[in-house]
């Protein structure tokens, strides 16, 4: 079965882009011409195209998805399972982002790798620990010791450790 993307989603997405274009155009009021000309010249067609796409999506006509010169999402998995898995992986990435902000990169990296492997992938403790340790080691050696990338301390440490 093909997942054509529910019409509602398509409409919201296209509508969102139209709103973005409208906002971008509205922002240009009061800007000097040298600043405003370019965003106006590209913003107006963007708004027109986005509105057209929104209207067409509302009318519910979807073409052959292979039309776009781009990859297509796989369709072998039943939509319900796919939705669940999508939500899960997005949550994990969001969690990693929060982890980095709170704890800082060097601590969040092994924690995330371990947690994902143990909880989401259901790997054994040993595998999960081993891979987390190697991720941490590779990360530390390369980015911290060799390249001196400045990784900010997480917010957590800034708040609670004076």
Binding-site size, other proteins (CB under 8 A) = 77
Which of 26, 29, 59, 70 touches other proteins by CB under 8 A?
Answer: 70
Q: Is 102 in the site for other proteins (CB under 8 A)?
A: no
Q: Is 121 in the site for other proteins (CB under 8 A)?
A: yes
Which of 2, 59, 66, 80 touches other proteins by CB under 8 A?
Answer: 66
CA distance 90 to 149: 26
Q: Is 77 in the site for other proteins (CB under 8 A)?
A: yes
Q: Is 29 in the site for other proteins (CB under 8 A)?
A: no
Helix axes 33-58, 7-27, angle to 10 degrees: 160
DSSP letters along 132-145, please? HHHHHHHHIIIIII
Angle at 59 between CA 57 and CA 62, to 5 degrees: 55
Which of 8, 19, 85, 133 touches other proteins by CB under 8 A?
Answer: 85
């Amino acid at each position: 079965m093909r997942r054509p993307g529910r019409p509602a989603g398509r409409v919201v997405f296209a509508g969102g882009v139209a709103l973005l274009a409208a906002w971008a155009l509205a922002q240009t009021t009061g800007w000097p011409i040298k600043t405003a000309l370019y965003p106006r010249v590209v913003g107006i067609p963007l708004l027109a195209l986005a509105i057209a796409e929104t209207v067409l999506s509302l009318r519910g006509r979807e073409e052959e998805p292979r039309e776009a010169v781009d990859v297509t999402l796989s369709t072998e998995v039943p939509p319900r399972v796919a939705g669940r898995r999508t939500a899960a992986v997005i949550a994990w990435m969001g969690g990693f982002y929060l982890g980095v902000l709170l704890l800082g990169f060097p601590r969040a990296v092994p924690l995330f790798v371990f947690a994902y492997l143990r909880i989401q992938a259901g790997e054994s403790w040993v595998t999960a620990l081993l891979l987390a340790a190697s991720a941490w080691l590779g990360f530390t050696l390369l980015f911290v010791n060799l390249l001196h990338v400045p990784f900010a301390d997480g917010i957590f440490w800034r708040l609670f450790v004076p």
